[in-house]
Structure 1
Amino acid sequence: MTASSAAFATATDASSPGKDHFVVLDGLRGVAALMVVLFHLFEPYALGNPQVQIINHGYLAVDFFFLLSGFVIAYAYDDRWGRMGTLEFFKRRIVRLQPMVILGSVIGAALFALQASPVFPKMADASAMQVILVMVLGFLMIPLPKSGDVRGWDEIYPLNGPAWSLFYEYIANALYALGVRKLSHRALAVLVALSACALVYLLVFGPRGDVIGGWALDASGIQIGLTRVMFPFFAGVLMMRLRMKVRMPHAFAVASALLVVAISLPRFGGLDRLWLNGLYEAACIVLLFPLIVAIGAGDKAAGGVSIRIARFFGDLSFPLYITHYPLIYIYTAWVSDGQVTPVEGALSGAALLVAAVAIAYASLKLYDEPVRRWLAAKLLRRS
């Protein structure tokens, strides 16, 4: 399995009163979420070979989400620490993120029984109690070792793989709240620079030439996960503090086009020059993605049809990201049976995309928003 989706805790904090809303950034988050779903739809046809993957760099959406998240977290909270404690911060993040994490785990458990296939070698050995236990541990964001993986893909959340990125999102949030928020601009810049060096080293000199990984609870998986989150998240914080913005007309269209093209380009270098692909991905994460966020942050007065679309998919982005993958498990098993014609694959993929968006929208309106309002009233003090 390739580096699944994305770390998506990048949701704008809805409880930040009196502040302008970055609608373009919300829209970009929605664009990235849609690209993640498309990446996963094409993934079974690559048969585990990243050289032929369509929408080849779709996993970079995770790194883009981390960057957005750092920017938004700093915008929402940097000026609130005098009247907000660390516990209050963590409660706000849990209220924002955990309801959908729980629902994603429930959906994953509910669809688990439909996924019997040679693609998932350990599923036949999983009992109902094991699945329930894995689901509950997923509610609590407790990562599982390989011995607890009921699916056999070495995922720390085997019922809903993309939740791995939320695990590292929470780590970055904790580092921010417990210390990084207190750093001066210069000290934060040093941290970001060192994190960039670690990221570039992984990409250019690592064994793969890409950032794929982070969902396994082993030394390599943890290294990749931490390396992926540290630079973009804290680069986003630094960008917000330095007010890094680029003003241009049609900001949403320009930034979306840059993001889609960067994620969709073929892999570079082939098997003989893996470093070349690593260099490309390093340029995307370290240079291009900050530019895209700066363009999005430079237009808060956006309007028109495109921005209404951006707002819709921005609201939908986190539910779409965290609920779509159980459908992908089933789709992957079906495609991997090897008896799917191109027409059948295209039609079923389109139907899955529509279903994923519909499930995400229903989850947002019928569950996520009401539950967050209720939790906020119960747990959060008024700002």
Structure 2
Amino acid sequence: MKFQSLESLRGIAAIMVVLFHCPFVVSGQNTLISNGSLFVDFFFVLSGFVICFAYFERIQAGLPFREFAFLRLGRLFPLHAVLILAWLFYQTTGSSASVPGTDGASFLINLFFLNSYGLEDALYWNYPSWSISAELFAYLTFFLAVTLLRHALSTPVALIISAAAYGLLLIDNPSTIQRSYDLGFLRCLAGFFLGVGVYQLHSRLRFIWATPGTLSEATALLGILALISFPDPAASLELLTILAFSVCVFLFARSDGQIARLLCTEVPAFLGRISYSVYLTHALVFMVVTDVAVQMIGIPSAIIPPPAGQLRLFYITDHALALNAFAILLTLVISATTFRLIEDPCRRLSKALIRPRAPQPARKPAPAQP
């Protein structure tokens, strides 16, 4: 990835989502972690930025949709398919009552990335995959927008699309934009086109605007932490946080301050590389660890409402820190393995299969026989 500091930030955002999903607590989650689901919107904004960078000119130049779709599915589907089959295997061989989603229709909805369109009444199977389903919808919309609008897909147009999607979410539910199985595709579309607008602005200002430094980087990150740390966030605060995400993406795409340099070091870069694997594997790891811990220790459970208002099941224990740390470490080990064995090879294969063949030199005519 050209923007290394942004990829590292994606890895950190994935860790924040993992912390949000940690099942063990002593009494409850702190506010920063309990609002961690908002970091999914950082993924959406960053995805719009990166996809616009990678594909905008290629689509304008005539990249066929089948190749665009094949590249994106080659990046996303193989690991998703392996993990949902792992869920199915665990459910049919060693599952406990905590395993959600038991019918074939739900399995197919989740397998084929249809789990962000309101077809179900909750998140089932590998529940983080709803956002991948939503991203595929955003990719399709982006391809159509570039094909139809071409150079007219500027920052103002992208922001209009984003605002329209957020508006539809707020009309449906004015209290929050944090949707997943229920209109999650609109949430992604809004953040994605916000990222498209940020990239268009970045590409026009990169030669005429001073490069941000460490102070700008620190201000952006501290602003995000402050916004996410508010208890009981309203929709207006959620939107302000997403706006802060977009400012952060814009700054770090251009910055060379101390924080950006730190993000380009080995550990943050590694987290960025495996962030997709971390995002997709952690739910299954948490479920298995929870089942084992409950059976071995007999940890009691409790329903605790987070700030967004959706009830969640937690397991209360004085060993919460150790159990969560073990589950996260196991997630990182498994994610590094799935990245090396599944995600990266499939991404490379999909690129190789559609890479244009080099033109063959024309054969010279054979000399005439005397």
- Identify which of 7, 10, 26 aligns with 1:29: 10
CA contact (8 A) 2:5 2:264 kept: no
Matched AA of 1:357 = L
How does 1:235-274 map onto structure 2 within 5 Å?
235-243=194-202, 247-250=211-214, 256-268=221-233
CA distance in 1, matches of 2:275, 2:95: 25
Three-state SS of the structure 1 residue aligned to 2:74 is helix
CA distance in 2, matches of 1:236, 1:83: 22
How does 1:205-354 map onto structure 2 within 5 Å?
207=173, 209-215=175-181, 221-222=182-183, 225-243=184-202, 247-250=211-214, 256-268=221-233, 277-285=234-242, 287-299=243-255, 303=261, 307-330=265-288, 334=294, 337=301, 342-354=317-329
Instruction: Give the direction of change, closer, same or farther, for the CA distance of 1:236–1:361 in structure 2 (3 Å limit).
Output: same
- Contiguous gaps of at least 5 residues in structure 1: 1-11, 13-20, 216-220, 269-276
Matched AA of 1:96 = R
Matched AA of 2:250 = A
CA contact (8 A) 1:23 1:310 kept: no
Query: How far is the alpha carbon of 1:25 from its aligned partner?
Result: 0.6
Q: Deviations over 1:61-95 (max 9, x none)?
A: 11111110010001001111214222211111111
Q: Corresponding residue for 2:113?
A: 141
CA distance in 1, matches of 2:282, 2:226: 23
- Identify which of 348, 352, 369 aligns with 1:373: 348
Q: Deviations over 1:141-164 (max 9, x none)?
A: 2449999x7xxx722xx2201111
CA distance in 1, matches of 2:11, 2:224: 11
CA distance in 2, matches of 1:262, 1:331: 32
Instruction: Give the direction of change, closer, same or farther, for the CA distance of 1:289–1:345 in structure 2 (3 Å limit).
Output: same
How does 1:17-56 map onto structure 2 within 5 Å?
21-41=2-22, 55-56=33-34
Q: Corresponding residue for 2:82?
A: 103
Farther off after superposition, 371-380 or 92-101: 371-380
Query: How far is the alpha carbon of 1:135 from its aligned partner?
Result: 5.2
CA distance in 2, matches of 1:146, 1:332: 28
Query: How far is the alpha carbon of 1:253 from its aligned partner?
Result: 6.2
Query: How far is the alpha carbon of 1:26 from its aligned partner?
Result: 0.2
Q: Deviations over 1:224-281 (max 9, x none)?
A: x13312221111112212226673334776655554454444324xxxxxxxx22211
CA root-mean-square deviation: 3.5
How does 1:355-374 map onto structure 2 within 5 Å?
355-374=330-349
TM-score (norm 2): 0.75
Three-state SS of the structure 1 residue aligned to 2:353 is helix
CA distance in 1, matches of 2:118, 2:247: 38
Farther off after superposition, 82-91 or 315-324: 82-91
Query: What is the aligned-residue identity percentage?
Result: 26
Q: Corresponding residue for 1:88?
A: 67
CA contact (8 A) 1:44 1:336 kept: no
